[in-house]
Structure 1
Amino acid sequence: MDTERAPLQYACDITEDDLWEVFDFLHPKLEALEAGHDPGTDEHRAADALARMLSSAVLQLEWDIRAPFWRPYRTRRGPTTVLVWAPPPEAVLSARDEWRLDKIRENWNALCDGLQVWRDCEGYDPERWHKVDFHDAAAEAEYERRCEELGLGRRKPS
């Protein structure tokens, strides 16, 4: 675990390293639990299922972090399908990036929700392995502005 990194604040700050550190922390615990029970028992199946879900969650988050969602080509229809260079408008790119960050935030928060039962164990990183409320600083500032505009107090962070 890299202790030099800043505490996690936003979805845009979640890195592949965070994902694989969570995996490296939790997967051995699940493997040990699985190995400690005979195949076919509920305990063995539960540990195997959780290990599979952990792998799936980490790989899905890694995909979302690595690959911003946009395609620089559009398909032109006609007698022959042709890919034509057509970069999406800025508004489309921005909306897709917001959607991607929202997906990262939701999946990260779900992972951290399950992970928190180990928060008192050695190796758990409370500075990075916690839920995040916003995509980035701009989203938080917009939330603050709207709350102030409506005369609302800020909600308690998760």
Structure 2
Amino acid sequence: MDTEPEPPALLAADVTPADVGAISAFLLPRIERQLLAHRPGSPEWRFAYALESLLGEAARTVRRHLELLADGDGRDEPGRADSLRAVRAGWNRLWEIVHPWQGDEAYDEARWQPIDHLDAAER
């Protein structure tokens, strides 16, 4: 029986700004369609608005900590670990928002997965 191998586990240290941008680019048009299709204040509109807010906050959190990691910023190991933990938490929020679309042809199965570990050393 031929089965496809599982994609390697994503680590917090592997996440890039492009990954965050890809999830946002995938979800925002879907959210916008719902916002435009429903009357402001309706339950459907409020649901789409809430999803858009959650997406934005999670994406900002991940991007902010990726920037700190990229800058080095003189961060010591505990500071680096704190940023990696924030990336993991924010990424897992993004994944919770996007994973209901698994199976969609544009869904990136290899990259859009939850994160358990910060980096290879933590595995």
TM bracket, shorter-chain basis? 0.7 to 0.9
In 2 relative to 1, CA 133–123 (structure 1 residues): closer, same or farther, beyond 3 Å? same
State the identity as a percent: 29
CA RMSD of aligned residues (A): 2.0
> By percentage of residues, which structure has more helix?
2
Q: Partners in 1 of 2:11 and 2:73 — Cα distance?
A: 25
Deviations 1:60-93 (A, max 9, x none): 2101101139766xxxxxxxxxxxxxxxxxxx70
Higher relative contact order (CA 8 A, sep 6+): 2
Counterpart of 1:98 (choices 70, 76, 81) is 81
> By percentage of residues, which structure has more strand?
1
Alignment partner of 1:33 is 2:34? yes
Aligned-pair distance for 1:8? 5.6
Q: Partners in 1 of 2:10 and 2:99 — Cα distance?
A: 17
Matched position secondary structure for 1:9? coil
Q: How many residues align?
A: 116
Matched position secondary structure for 1:56? helix
Structure 1 unaligned blocks of 5 or more: 1-5, 73-91, 141-158
Q: Partners in 2 of 1:102 and 1:13 — Cα distance?
A: 13
Q: Partners in 1 of 2:25 and 2:34 — Cα distance?
A: 15
Alignment partner of 1:42 is 2:25? no
TM-score w.r.t. the length of structure 2 is 0.85
